[in-house]
């Protein structure tokens, strides 16, 4: 397994990261452990989770994903071989995350409570990469990087980025967090974090976890340059477009056990123009003799601003198709073919 530097932290992480948001909802504890075992055997040393998980978020399951990882760590004794990433939720109307039933915000009190919960569930003394799951401020849309701007309503009570970073810095000083990352953040937000760190000596963010895939390349126009020049690499989530890029939903199909069939919450990838784009990319995968899931992940891995692709699966067969991207040699011909389709269909699912 090839590794890449995680920002300027000195850590080397596998360029495939195991995403775990199905653990506790679509995957049982034993299934989760089987995936973790296979990932470790394959050479993956990078795990991503969140206090929010599993998905879809619910009060009765919240935290189950971290607990499943924690029970695996306890029996496998592999902690020193792994880089574990988790996340604190941004501002939310959901009241089940905090003990007093308040709505989460990105201030010191909320972040500290979130971190302590994650440490306990994971059974670890420190988090290697602690990420802000989404901003506290109102944004144009989830993911903070739209193709068309829609001005959000102002909120005078938003927690400033500088306050959030100072709060996270306190936890780094205490040794409970080693490094920091962002998620669903914009170029403006990323640079605000970096500027505050440079100005004050606060910890520097090492990564940004945004959606990035063949259907959604909005990271490229502004954030790619930030990632490369500032060493804040992309941890690409949803490399398969929530499963659409496998082709399994073609023609309106709803495979049993799929997220579409179970939860019907894939609207991000059901916008006009998306079906045409999916068909085109699946056809490209077939043209190059690869499974669509393998092809889609290989595309992500080939981009120079990417630190890791975050794969997720509910079956071992799906997991193997994603892992196979490690062995793909991405060619100029493949990139040109992808770019030609992108020129025609753009980013239908930002």
Q: What is the pLDDT of residues 74-91, one digit of tens each?
A: 999 999 999 999 999 999
CA triple 194-196-198, angle to 5 deg? 70
Q: What pLDDT was estimated at residue 14?
A: 98
pLDDT at 73 exceeding the cut of 90 = yes
Q: Tokens standing for 45?
A: 């040393």
Q: How confident is the model at residue 146 (pLDDT cuts 50, 70, 90)?
A: confident
Please give the pLDDT value at position 99: 96
Share of the chain above pLDDT 90, in %: 91
pLDDT digits (tens, 9 = 90+) for 275-304: 999 999 999 999 999 999 999 999 999 999
Q: Is 53 a catalytic residue?
A: yes
Structural tokens at position 272: 């006009």
For the chain, give me the number of helices (H) and strands (E)?
A: 11, 10
Query: Which residues, 6+ apart, have CB-to-CB distance to 274 below 8 Å?
Result: 215, 244, 348, 349
Q: What is the structure's pLDDT at 159?
A: 97
pLDDT (0 to 100) of residue 144: 84
Cβ–Cβ < 8 Å for 246, 292 = yes
Q: What is the pLDDT of residue 143?
A: 83
Mean local confidence (pLDDT), 218-236 = 98
- Kindly tell me if the per-residue pLDDT of 148 is higher than 90: no
For the chain, domains (ranges, CATH) are 3-344 (3.20.20.100)
What is the average pLDDT across 167-185? 98
- Joined tokens for residue 182: 């962002």
Alpha helices for the chain (secondary structure H)? 29-42, 64-76, 108-122, 161-173, 187-200, 223-230, 259-263, 274-287, 292-301, 316-323, 332-345
Give the H or E element holding residue 18: strand 16-19
327-346: pLDDT as tens digits? 999 999 999 999 999 999 99
Distance between CA 152 and CA 81 in Å, rounded? Answer: 43
For the chain, give the percent of residues with pLDDT over 70: 100
What DSSP letter does each residue of 195-210 carry, written as one string?
HHHHHH-PPPEEEEE-
62 vs 252: CA distance, rounded Å: 30
* Per annotation, catalytic residue among 53, 244, 249, 269: 53
- The confidence score (pLDDT) of residue 194 equals 98
- Tokens, residue 23: 């653990």
Question: Are 251 and 278 contacting, i.e. CB atoms less than 8 angstroms apart?
Answer: no
pLDDT exceeds 90 at position 306 = yes
The answer to whether 1 touches 42, Cβ cutoff 8 Å, is: yes
> Which residue in 259, 261, 264, 321 sits closest to 25, CA to CA?
259
Q: What is the mean pLDDT of residues 191-214?
A: 98
pTM for the structure as a whole = 0.97
Mean pLDDT of the chain: 96
pLDDT, mean of residues 44-70: 98
pLDDT for res 30: 98
Long-range CB contact pairs, 259-267, < 8 A, 24+: 259/26, 262/26, 263/56, 265/56, 266/242
Q: Is the pLDDT of residue 142 over 90?
A: no
Distance in angstroms (rounded) separating the CA atoms of residues 69 and 64:
9
236-248 per-residue burial string, b: 16 or more CB within 10 A, e: under 16: bbbbbbbbbbbbb
Q: Is the pLDDT of residue 232 over 90?
A: yes
What's the pLDDT at 127? 98
Is 41 a residue whose pLDDT tops 90? Answer: yes
- 220-225: which pairs have CB atoms within 8 A and are 24 or more residues apart? 220/305, 222/145, 222/186, 222/187, 223/145, 223/186, 223/187, 223/190, 223/305, 224/303, 224/305
**Three-state secondary structure along 267-307?**
HHHCCCCHHHHHHHHHHHHHHCCCCHHHHHHHHHHCCCCEE
């Amino acid at each position: 397994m090839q590794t890449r530097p995680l920002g300027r932290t000195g850590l080397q992480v596998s360029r495939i990261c195991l995403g775990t948001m199905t653990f506790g909802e679509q995957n049982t504890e034993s299934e989760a452990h089987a995936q973790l075992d296979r990932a470790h055997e394959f050479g993956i040393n990078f795990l991503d989770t969140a206090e929010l998980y599993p998905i879809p978020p619910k009060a009765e399951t919240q935290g189950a994903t971290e607990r499943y990882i924690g029970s695996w760590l306890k029996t496998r004794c592999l902690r020193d071989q792994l880089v574990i990433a988790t996340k604190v939720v941004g501002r939310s109307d959901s009241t089940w995350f905090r003990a007093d039933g308040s709505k989460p915000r990105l201030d010191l009190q909320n972040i500290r409570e979130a971190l302590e919960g994650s440490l306990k569930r994971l059974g670890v003394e420190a988090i290697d990469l602690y990420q802000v799951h989404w901003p506290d401020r109102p944004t144009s849309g989830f993911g903070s990087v739209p193709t068309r701007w829609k001005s959000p309503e102002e909120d005078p009570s938003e927690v400033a980025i500088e306050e959030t970073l100072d709060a996270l810095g306190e936890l780094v000083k205490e040794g409970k967090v080693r490094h920091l990352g962002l998620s669903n953040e914009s170029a403006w937000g990323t640079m605000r974090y970096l500027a505050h760190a440079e100005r004050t000596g606060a910890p520097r963010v090492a990564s940004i976890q945004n959606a990035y895939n063949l259907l959604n390349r909005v990271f490229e126009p502004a954030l790619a340059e930030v990632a490369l020049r500032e060493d804040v690499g992309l941890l690409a989530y949803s490399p398969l477009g929530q499963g659409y890029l496998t082709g399994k939903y073609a023609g309106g199909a709803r495979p049993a056990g799929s997220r579409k069939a179970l939860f019907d919450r894939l609207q991000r990838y059901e916008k006009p123009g998306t079906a045409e784009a999916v068909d085109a990319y699946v056809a490209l995968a077939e043209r190059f003799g690869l499974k669509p899931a393998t092809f889609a992940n290989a595309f992500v891995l080939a981009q120079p601003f990417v630190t890791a692709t975050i794969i997720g699966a509910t079956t071992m067969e799906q997991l193997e198709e994603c892992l196979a991207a490690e062995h793909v040699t991405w060619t100029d011909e493949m990139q040109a073919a992808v770019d030609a389709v992108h020129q025609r269909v753009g980013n239908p699912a930002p």
